[in-house]
Amino acid sequence: MEKSELLHLQVVVELPYRWAAGRNGSLMLKALRDEKKIIGNRCPECRKVYVPPRAVCGPCFIAPDETVELPVTGTLAGYSVVNYPFIDPETGEKRPVPYTYGYIQLDGCDSYLSHFVNETDPARLSPGLRVEAVFKPDGERVGQMQDILHFKVSEEKGG
Amino acid sequence: MSQRVGIIGFGQTYHRSRRDDVNGVELINEAVRAALEDAELTIDDIDAVVIGNMDHFEAVNYVDTWSVDGSGAWMKPLIKLTTGGTTGSTLGIAGYHHAASELFDVVLVIGWEKNSESDTTGAIITCSDPIFDRFSFSGALPGLAVEASTYMKRYGITEEDAALVAVRDREHGANNPYAQLRKPVTVEEVMQSPMLSWPVKLLDICPRSDGAAAVIFAGEQKAKKLSPRPAWVLSTSVRHSHSYFSDINYEEIHTMQEAVKELYKNVGIKEPLKELDVVELYQPYSFAGLKWIEAMGLCKPGESPRLLRDKVTHMDGELPFNPSGGVICTNCIGATGLLRIGEAALQVMGRAPGRQVPDVNLALSTGFGGAYWTDLMLLGSRPW
């Protein structure tokens, strides 16, 4: 059979989901929305501070029991400047590029936070750069991670 | 209750970016028929079937049932497994466990994917946590590029160093009639290819493929009876870590470090570079062919570019990597880890035309996926 005779079915699926954030996740998302604060929690065994806060520390397999308010400043641990187009499963639309996908280690936190960074020139980015969270204005925050608009590169010099 | 296990057959499809001439069930059947033919068996000889893929690529979420006609699992014990990128290596390890348990003697293991059927990146994003990771996550490529950014900074690794890895695998892939990408490339071509996600360029990264692989495992007595030279499973190791992508330590690939430690100890390997004969590394992008071989203990951290420049890991080198061309030449994701196992088995059995490494005793295959997970399977020409 000729290639041109081979058929396929093309379908766009709209499939709504409703994901529970849970107690710990809700604590963090509410703090983002209402107070522009970032909340994590600490494992009593290994003393690691996690963000997002969670019900269990995987390596120790016990519940972090201490809520920790983290600063909105941190260090860029790793990053990539995304240049290629793809369909965002959240919206069904192409996600705008370029954008910088960064792993931010908030001061005093042991895990990272993945988020956007407002600099897309690789020459101006480097692991160790100081960054700071920029929040959406009051009234526009709804209790989701995107209540932080992005992290901006700070003026202060990083290590 | 356990028995030694050998691989006695391997079959794969010709991998392409799009196979519109077959649906998923038919693609699976191609690999199954090839494996049965390779082992000189019929479907009646198979006691149990293990199948898997990353089901969000095709959005057919009951693959085990849907594919029974093609897989040959009709009225047989059948299980579906899926663990993201490690699916193929998980399948192989599960097939080994099935046969080793003595509950099943001859086990057919199938991995497959039709990546052409959806937006690969969009589908991969659905692997991440929906609330905390997904909004910024952009699939496998930037997740890997973040690792590259930290590795380059820490050891002064360059994009040209990484390009050497892609050039090696594309050179090897030209020898493999089943590979999707069979045209060699140069360092200059890699460097000039479009920057997809800094510092990763088009020719640094794996393609997305339609394809399937099938491997037949058999218990010791059956393997000896059915195959003149089985590839014996000597050891496996599995290390999976975090749930959130943002928990990963991008400085080290701890899962690989821990997995090789266990595997080398199990079989008494002290100098892997000297003792291993060939490696099929699940290497989704070029930088992994540097950093991860350091984690495997082949050289000190930051020194791997020298191994590439000296062609230590090329076909004629001391420890050839990816004679098949590896993941950079072919990546039908649910089959990718199983292709590593199958290709490693061919090397041990001495049946890899065009890409055979001479006198292989020990062949290591790896799997990679999820939040930087590692699976390993070591195959050998002697059962013990």
- pLDDT tens digits for range B197-245: 999 999 999 999 999 999 999 999 999 999 999 999 999 999 998 878 8
Domain that residue B136 falls in: 129-206+231-380
Distance from CA of A127 to the nearest CA of B (A): 6
pLDDT at B328: 98
Residues B92 and B108 in one domain: yes
Residues B104 and B38 in one domain: yes
Whether residue A44 has a cis bond before it, omega within 30° of 0: no
Chain-chain contact of A3 with B196 (C-beta, under 8 angstroms): no
pLDDT(B336) > 70: yes
In a domain, residue B249? The reply is yes
Residues B175 and B316 in one domain: yes
Chain-chain contact of A114 with B153 (C-beta, under 8 angstroms): no
Tokens 């794969």, located at residue? B12
Distance from CA of A68 to the nearest CA of B (A): 17
Residues B199 and B215 in one domain: no
Per the CB < 8 A criterion, the answer to whether B335 and B212 are in contact is yes
Domain boundary among B226, B255, B289: B226
Give the H/E segment covering residue B29: helix B24-39
Tell me the mean pLDDT in the region A76-87. 92
Tokens linked to A107? 């001061």
Report the CATH number at residue B279.
3.40.47.10
Q: What CA–CA distances, in Å, run from B165 to B65, B315, B322?
A: 40, 13, 10
In a domain, residue B311? The reply is yes
- Quote the number of domains for chain B: 2
Residues B275 and B311 in one domain: yes
Tell me the mean pLDDT in the region A100-122. 96
Tell me the mean pLDDT in the region A83-110. 90
Residues B29 and B58 in one domain: yes
pLDDT at A159: 46
| Minimum Cα–Cα distance from A104: chain B residue | B246
B91-107: per-residue pLDDT in tens? 999 999 999 999 999 99
In a domain, residue B263? The reply is yes
Tokens linked to A32? 């983002």
Chain-chain contact of A86 with B145 (C-beta, under 8 angstroms): no
In a domain, residue B124? The reply is no
Residues B43 and B186 in one domain: no
In a domain, residue B281? The reply is yes
Chain-chain contact of B146 with A103 (C-beta, under 8 angstroms): yes
Domain boundary among B226, B261, B294: B226
Angle CA B349–B54–B334, to nearest 5:
15
Residues B330 and B190 in one domain: yes
In a domain, residue B273? The reply is yes
Residues B245 and B259 in one domain: yes
Helix axes B288-295, B140-155, angle to 10 degrees: 70
pLDDT(A119) > 70: yes
Residue B384: pLDDT band with limits 50, 70, 90: low
Domain boundary among B175, B193, B226: B226
In a domain, residue B245? The reply is yes
Write out chain A residues lying below 8 Å of B197, CB-based: 80-84, 101
Per the CB < 8 A criterion, the answer to whether B305 and B164 are in contact is yes
pLDDT at A157: 56
Size of interface A-B (CB pairs under 8 A): 116
Chain B contact present for A144, CB below 8 A? yes
Residues B17 and B83 in one domain: yes
Per the CB < 8 A criterion, the answer to whether A78 and A126 are in contact is no
Residues B245 and B374 in one domain: yes
Predicted ipTM of the assembly = 0.90
Secondary structure class of B7 (helix, strand, coil):
strand
Chain-chain contact of B119 with A21 (C-beta, under 8 angstroms): no
Residues B56 and B16 in one domain: yes
Q: Look at the alpha carbons of B157, B158, B164, B169 in this order and tell me if their dihedral is positive or negative.
A: positive
B122-166: per-residue pLDDT in tens? 899 988 999 999 999 888 898 899 999 999 999 999 999 999 999
